[in-house]
Structure 1
Amino acid sequence: MKHFLAILIFFFFVAPGTAASNDQQTTTIMVFGDSLSANYGIPTEAGWVHLLEQRLQTLSPVFQVVNASISGETTLGGRNRIQQAIEQHHPDIVILGLGANDGLRGTAIKTIYENLETIINICQQNNISVLLAGMQLPPNYGMTYTQKFQSIYSQLAQRYQTALVPFLLAGFGEKQEFFQTDGIHPTVLAQEKIAENVWVVLHTMIRNNIATIRSES
């Protein structure tokens, strides 16, 4: 993470708007999610991941966003492939957006928690910062299950001191006009809203990392 923080300090406080040199190391942010992040039913360039990368590029060209999301992915699937994804992409930050498919299938809360916990642990053992993207379920899944499901994300974020987007679809999750005909996957119109939800937390996370390293130096 040292090169990541050094790059951020340089571009935020020394040379905003300065182009990166050819030998400048990149800062890689890997989005590790399901169909909500994998551009299901929409063009890749319209998806929130691409929109987020565009915003990061306005800060500095050193930022690189890798979308390692897979439609239909579960927390177990993510748990099984996170190490390979890390070895392939070498991210500095992982945006972890899994759990929705587990919840829709009624997977045991303990199982979802433990799978996400393992993914977070693997990331942190590899010196990778985690931004956890929370999800919620529709009320027809029952109050007890939906509340326990929602609390998974805040509990993990608190325990492992990760950044947290409380609800990835905040601001439109209850509005059908922002969803495709299946009623599950957001439309192109919703992508900017998702990108904004992530951006608010990610931007703060980056600045906090910079403040921490400056205070320790």
Structure 2
Amino acid sequence: MHEEIKEAYGFLFEKELLEEISEVGTLKRVKAGETIIEIGDYVTGMPLLIDGAIKILREDDKGDELLLYFLERGDTCAMTLSCCLGQKKSEIRAVAETDTIFVMIPIAKMEEWTSKYKTWRNFVFQAYHARLSEMLDTIDAIAFLNMDQRLMKYLRDRAKIKGEVEIQSTHQQIAYDLHTSRVVISRLLKKLEMEGKISLQRNQIKVIDL
């Protein structure tokens, strides 16, 4: 596990901190589509991504989801950090976008390292800033972009996260992520295909206009 952590975070953390992460962290491997953190769960640790991608979702009173942002290798979730430090229940759902490997760090160590290691403190602050910027992008997309523009941005983001132009997904799943109906998504996907921006196959979308 130490080598995997070093490869993912060696450019951020000093040797001593990397060794502590290896000693107290718990390595987790999850398959694409698995829920990692559920809304209402008490968060007992913070995930550090080694490989893969995780999508972070919010849920409204009706149970409809909205995609907030993606986490990639070298990232952590600011909202998870907030719940950990406040010892509150999770307000987000974290789902593996791809097969994912991460290390779970206990709450007590997170607080200890904040005062002990400047690199860890900087990492936490930068994580808050990066996730806040991504949430502002999501708010801007909802407020200022048409649904077809939001959909195209979503497809480009997923393609970049996966490192592939082909996205395996149903129209219903995309509708869940964008907080709209399957009928709307199906209509807009067909429109984007006619414009030459994507190519549609069964449960697969090829992003042409990256």
TM-score greater than 0.5 by the shorter chain: no
Question: Whose radius of gyration is greater, 1 or 2?
Answer: 2
Which structure shows the higher strand fraction? 2
TM-score relative to the length of structure 2: 0.27
- Taking structure 1 as the reference length, the TM-score comes to 0.27
